[in-house]
Amino acid sequence: MKLLLKIVAGLVALLVVAAIGVFVLLNNIDFNRFRGAIAEQVGKATGRQVTIAGDFELSISLTPTVSFADVTLANASWGSRPDIVRVKRLEVEMELLPLLFGETRVRRVVLVGADILMETNDKGIGNWVLGTIGEEEVAPGSESGGARTLPTVNVVVIEDAIITYRSGVTGELQTLTLAEASFEAESRTSPIAFALDGAVNGQPLSLTGSLGSVEVLGSGTPLPVEFSLQAGGASVTAKGAIERPAQGEGIAFALTASGDSLASLGPLFGGTLPALGPYEIAGTLSNPSGAYKLADAAIKLGGSDLRGEVILALGERPTLTATLASTRLDLEDLGIAGAGGGAGSSGAGDGRVFPDDALPFDGLAFADAELALDIGTLVNQKATLSNVNVDLSLAGGKLTVRKLDAGISGGRVSIAGNVNAAARPAAVAARITARGVESAALLQTFGIGGSFTGGTVNLDLDVKGKGDSIRQIMAGLDGTSSFEMKGGRIEDEFAKLILADVSQLLQSGGDSGAINCMVSRFAIKNGLATSQALVVDTPGAVILGSGRVMLDSEKLDLRFDPSAKQVNLANLAVPVRVGGTFLKPSVTPDAAALATGVVGTVGAVALAPVAIVGALIGGEAVAGGEGTSDNPCVAALSAKAKPAQEEQKPKSTGEQILDDTGEALEDVGDAIEGLFQ
């Protein structure tokens, strides 16, 4: 036994002395002599040429540490630069004992000052696919480039690095800078936990999460991914898998995102998004065919909500395809201002109503889109719409509204049209139809409220024009307009003056603003709107209008012939002419009518103008030819006027009217002047 113990002790001593000797020997060897051999062996393991230009150092222990300086790994032969990886310093800490059994176990890898280029060729193959030799993709398991057995790595630390991604298919370029990043896994079969701080395309980034194990990375099977991201004010969480991680394709994530502005998400996808928010987004994110698809989406933007499917293809020309529904949608939440605008916004005192500011048609060339929307309540600055259906497309700068149908205040409005911003000047066409809509709500929807309230309106408008501003479009406008109103009130003082009474002299029942019915039809040619029918029936009078409106110069040339319904007011039913401009109209008694005494029709004779208008429009109903309207003015226009019974017409000449009215007309003139001051 003593002898045995002495033998064992001697062997141990011998081993210790040998170990000490090997340690001393290794620490005194210049390992730089072996840089070439080491680089060659690493190159064989990766299939890429490795160059170690700096010093090679070895720290001997049970976990020896190898340190390299100025290391490069060759890029694929089709790459845009010679190296896929450039590292200022690389440290590798390994376990010694597993090496004796042919297993490579790396406890820690540290990369300092790394410059990594990840790019794809025109076929979408990534330069990080190590089975790529020369120009050909080597099949897994082949002799020259078989599937690589990746070593077990417990911890990877990256400091002061830059990672650039370039797509050879789309030309997309994105940059990730890392102040510090770490990746950690207990074994080859354990998930890899990661954390990093840096910036994406200049936007601050903080990312934590986990992904599949080392074995999954090398197996070609879908890679599980889970992460939480903070970037540019956005908070994003995702859980799912990447079907083809080597190509960065086949993403399928359950996604949530929130933030104060959508613009903060733009840099993450390499595109530009509008500054809208706050927002909350949830859904399933995937990237079929290189686009981003959000299915089962639930989106909240400000006070608005959307649900459905959105597909966004980014790049030089983004394309948006969306099929969505909403309970409530406020256009302000989408960055869309309300309809209408202030008169003469560009004129600054030029005496014009139609602004000459350039319309934002250039924005239509930014992207393409296909959009289908069903909205319960749509809110803008002017009106609230219900049960809205939208179907539109945007392609090559041409916006086509196939359908915009909405409920407004008891009726419905339908809009269709297109804007071709690719043409110069831009071409615009619109068709608007309204049925049974309350007057004020309809006018407010188009930003021209204030003239009428109450009653119901039918409208048909079909126009087209060219121009890069509202003024240019109106100057060359072509088309037709048809407007009928049943009941309601005139609220605008100027409209009341020329259509309903002369300073309340024609009122009946004390309500000078009341309307029984109204019909208007204009033909528009090259900016000139010519009246084909204009009839207004009020409690005090029936008014027949005629004339022209010059949309190019904004000048008025109209005549209104009132027919009083009371005998004692007949002499005061003076025809008036409306001239001047939209901004400064003028109203004067018709001098010719005063001189000849052609004034003062009364009673049943009031239907005579209606008969004239009926002849003008051919007895057709105004409401789009959709049957007989219950509007009494339209009904009267559609029938032959009955012969008027002869009534004693008060004798009147121009002088008599002026004598009888005396100061009354003078007061009317003062009132007219006051209105426009």
Position 131 scores a pLDDT of: 55
Helix axes 654-661, 663-676, angle to 10 degrees: 80
Cis amide prior to 278 (ω within 30 degrees): yes
pLDDT tens-digit series, residues 375-403: 999 988 777 889 999 999 999 889 999 99
Residue 637 has pLDDT above 50, yes or no: yes
List the structure tokens of 174: 């994105």
When mean pLDDT is compared across 50-64, 128-142, 394-408, 432-446, the lowest value belongs to 128-142
Q: What is the pLDDT of residues 232-259, one digit of tens each?
A: 788 889 999 988 776 667 889 999 989 8
- Smallest Cα–Cα separation from 541: which of 592, 607, 489? 607
Whole-number pLDDT of residue 617 = 38
Would you state the pLDDT for residue 383?
76
Q: Please give the pLDDT value at position 449.
A: 61
Q: Is the pLDDT score of 618 beyond 90?
A: no
Q: Report how far residue 119's alpha carbon sits from residue 76's, in angstroms, rounded to the nearest whole number.
A: 10
Q: How far apart are CA 458 and CA 452, in angstroms?
A: 14
What is the predicted pLDDT for the residue at 550? 94
Find the mean pLDDT for residues 18-43.
57
How many Cβ atoms are within 10 Å of 373's Cβ, its own excluded?
19
Give me the chain's average pLDDT, please.
Answer: 74
User: What is the per-residue pLDDT for 372?
Assistant: 96
Q: Read off the pLDDT of residues 447-504 as tens digits, 9 standing for 90 and up.
A: 666 677 888 889 999 999 999 999 999 999 999 999 888 888 877 555 554 444 443 4
The mean pLDDT of 302-306, rounded to a whole number, is 91
Other beta carbons less than 10 A from residue 235's beta carbon: 14
Give 269's pLDDT tier (boundaries 50, 70, 90).
low
